[in-house]
Amino acid sequence: MAISLEQWVAKICDGDRRAMAQAISAVERREPCSADLLKTLFHKGGKAYVVGITGAPGAGKSTLLEKVAAEYRQRGKRVGIIAIDPTSPFSGGAILGDRIRMQALSTDEGTYIRSMATRGQLGGLAPAARDVALIMDAAGYDVIFVETVGVGQDEVDVARLADVTVVLLVPGMGDDVQAFKAGVMEIADLFVINKADQSGVERVERELNALLSVTPQPDGWQPPVVRTTATTGEGIISLCEALEEFRAATEQSPAGLKRRKENTRLQLLELLRQSLFEKVAQEQFDHERIGEYVEEILARRRDPHSIVEEIMRASGVGTDRG
């Protein structure tokens, strides 16, 4: 790119979609310029509301997101969507009909959709999603949705980068409410029971409320439960209002500050982890050298820990120049 970093950043902040897309690609591919780009863009952002949405495949996350995004657009907000659910139509995963429906959103100038691969992502998904959200934030997107599938460490990590986390349930999940208990209950700031026109909605709401009543809420926030039927748009305005209410409640509160501090701390440590690795891996071995190490391990001539200690010594870690 023949333009300077300053020009590039200026274009992004002016809302140039092409410049933003190029920045996201550069960051995803970890091009040499990406750290400088993120450093500069960091100081341009800080205004966006990042909303994590998680739920099992088939819960209707994408349809819900489509309607919520439309509602925010009506309110004059610009909306970014980061899809890291492999089954999402946003990431091209789901059936064709969904994808066609999504095109209405993606041609709107005030909406930007970016899907991210859930595999092969160096250093994990959460850091990559955080960087993309940072770019969208600097580009002036007011609300940024991050869509994930709802079981596993990834979702917990992604929740940590969001200002608010919405967990989607559907009627007829039965034991699956139980399944959510272990990991996802604690990260939810807001529950949505989607497909509320289907039978069983009372049962899932009752089970959820029973679980909530025994789950400690250290920050004093009782997660509301909103019923929606995304296909008809029912409940979407209530959901947007609940989102805004949570934002107002946490923007200045001690609990909200505590959460932002903890998120920032975890993000800083993750960035350190990844940067150290990239630097040392780049300096200390090429494809051939690592192939030799692998041969030694497979032949049980050497163990991985001894090899890693050797690499760390060679890289100078621990020599302390500070």
Span interacting with a second copy, options 3-11, 21-29, 68-76, 89-97, rule CB under 8 A = 89-97
Q: Out of 279, 286, 288, 292, which residue is the one contacting a second copy (CB under 8 A)?
A: 279
Classify residue 54 as left (phi > 0), alpha (psi -120 to 50) or beta: beta
Q: Out of 106, 232, 268, 289, which residue is the one contacting a second copy (CB under 8 A)?
A: 268
Residue 137 CB, nearest approach to a second copy (Å)? 12
* CB crowding 178-212: b at 16 or more within 10 Å, else e: eebeeebbebbbbbbbbbbeeeebeebbebbeeeb
Question: How far is it, in rounded angstroms, from Cα 233 to Cα 300?
Answer: 60
Q: Out of 15, 183, 200, 224, which residue is the one contacting a second copy (CB under 8 A)?
A: 183
Q: Out of 178, 210, 248, 250, which residue is the one contacting a second copy (CB under 8 A)?
A: 178
- Residue 42's CB: how many other CB atoms inside 10 A? 13
The partner residues of 165 in beta bridges, in order of sequence, read 52
With CA atoms as reference, report the closest residue to 51 among 147, 153, 195, 183: 147
254 binds a second copy (CB under 8 A): no
Binding to a second copy, residues 194-213 (CB under 8 A): none
Question: How far is it, in rounded angstroms, from Cα 38 to Cα 35?
Answer: 5
Whose tokens are 């007011």? That residue is 142
Q: Out of 77, 181, 203, 247, which residue is the one contacting a second copy (CB under 8 A)?
A: 181
- Residue 243's CB: how many other CB atoms inside 10 A? 22
Query: Looking at beta carbons only, is 75 or 261 nearer to a second copy?
Result: 261
Residues in contact with a second copy, counted by CB under 8 A, come to a total of: 80
**What is the three-class DSSP state of 144?**
strand
Question: How far is it, in rounded angstroms, from Cα 284 to Cα 281?
Answer: 5
Span interacting with a second copy, options 12-20, 101-109, 180-188, 215-223, rule CB under 8 A = 180-188
Q: Out of 182, 214, 218, 288, which residue is the one contacting a second copy (CB under 8 A)?
A: 182
Span interacting with a second copy, options 11-19, 204-212, 233-241, 263-271, rule CB under 8 A = 263-271
Q: Out of 222, 276, 289, 292, which residue is the one contacting a second copy (CB under 8 A)?
A: 276
β-strands 49-55, 143-149 pairing? parallel
Binding to a second copy, residues 122-161 (CB under 8 A): 124-125, 149, 151-156
Query: Looking at beta carbons only, is 18 or 301 nearer to a second copy?
Result: 301
Binding to a second copy, residues 18-57 (CB under 8 A): 35, 38-39, 42-43, 46, 56-57
Query: Looking at beta carbons only, is 183 or 224 nearer to a second copy?
Result: 183
Enclosing H/E stretch for 111: strand 111-115
- 3-state percent helix, strand, coil for the chain, nearest multiple of 5: 55, 10, 35
Query: Looking at beta carbons only, is 138 or 240 nearer to a second copy?
Result: 138
Residue 26 CB, nearest approach to a second copy (Å)? 14
